[in-house]
Each structure stands twice: as C-alpha cells, then as structure tokens.
Amino acid sequence: MSTSTTQKPTTRRIVGMVVGIVIIGLGIALFKQSHLGNDSISALNMRLAELLGISLGVQNVATNILFFALEFWFGRKYIGLGTFVNGIGMGFIITFFYDPIAAAFGPAASLPEQLVWVVLAVLVTALGASLYQTADLGIAPYDYLSLGLRDYTHFQYFGCRVFTDAFCALLCWLLGGLVGLGTLICAFCLGPFIQFFNGLVSERVLQYKPEKA
C-alpha cells in the first residue's frame, strides 16, 4: 500500500475503506466457520481470547494497542484513519458475523464442506482487503510489523511478511490454538486474489489507484 495518506481523502475512499474492513471481518468469520484455521494473527487473537476468557473484540483491541505503539514510534507515516477503524473494530465485526453464521449452519460436517467455507472465506477476505488497501487511508497495526521490518532491515517485504505470519502461527500453535489447512491456504491464496480484485473491482469502484510503496 502507498503511504500517500497526506492526500485529502475523498468520501468514496473513506466509505470504501470502511466497507472493506467490514467485508474482511465477514471473511475471517467464514474462515473461523470452516474450522480449518484462520489467518495467523486472527487465529492467535482467538486463542488468546479463549485463554484469557475475554471477547475477541477486546482481545483484538489489546493486541493492536501493542502493535500501534510500535507503529507510532517507528512508522508514523503509515498511520491513517484506516489504522484506527481496523485496529479498534475488526474483532467486534468478526464476532458480529460469526455468531449468527455458526448458529444458522452449525459445525461443518465434512472436509468438502469445510473447504467450501474456506473458498468463500478467501474470496470474501481478498475482496475486503483489496478495497481497504486501495482506499490507501492507513495501515492496520499488525500489517505495519512486516513493513517496519522491511524498512529497518535489508530484507524484502515478502520475507518479512512470511516471518511475522509464521511467528504468530507458531505462537498460536504453542498456545494450543487452531493452525490448519485454512491457515496455509490463507497465506498463499489471499495475495493473488487481492491483486485480482484490485484491478477488477476496487480501483474502478473507488476511482483511485494508490502509488507504489
């Protein structure tokens, strides 16, 4: 994502950013419904919420406060409206969607059914992430970690992202959380589909194309 958050945001970009975040929350709820694993940071937050006996929304905010402190200290240029909307709201949005989905459909009974949920989750999450990133209104606190590593080391962004995701997945697994096929699919499939939706949907809908970071 670009760091051109100094440009005056348009209403279209702000609405697109908010809608994108809501869609991401729905996508993560679909990943959770699959019971095959979530993206690394969501899986870790879900496990920490279970261990601490608090809601996912509260746990997500607590984690993002920690990550935001790093972003504020080392990467203020990445902070924007989207940083706060994502950091504060994501956990509550996931819960808002997951509870009625789980109540309506119950546990996935077979691997094919679980894979259907994963496919839906990938597509939905990628669309939401595409809208959110194309709006170019700030980096989420967790997403900053890989960008910060890239900025302060000699490693490429891809390697830094793999490291942060792998570290969170490992920590989740060590804490007894669910790390599974869905986690791997999320890691390898989201990027290409986000890129696909960028040109097909987001840049056209938002009438905006971020500069390259």
| Single-letter amino acid code for the residue at 78 | Y
| pLDDT value, residue 173 | 93
CA distance 115 to 35: 10
**Could you give the angle at which helices 40-52 and 11-34 cross, rounded to 10 degrees?**
70
- Low-confidence residues of the chain: pLDDT under 50: 1-6, 213
CA distance 201 to 32: 25
All structural domains of the chain with their residue ranges: 22-206
Tokens encoding 89: 């709201």
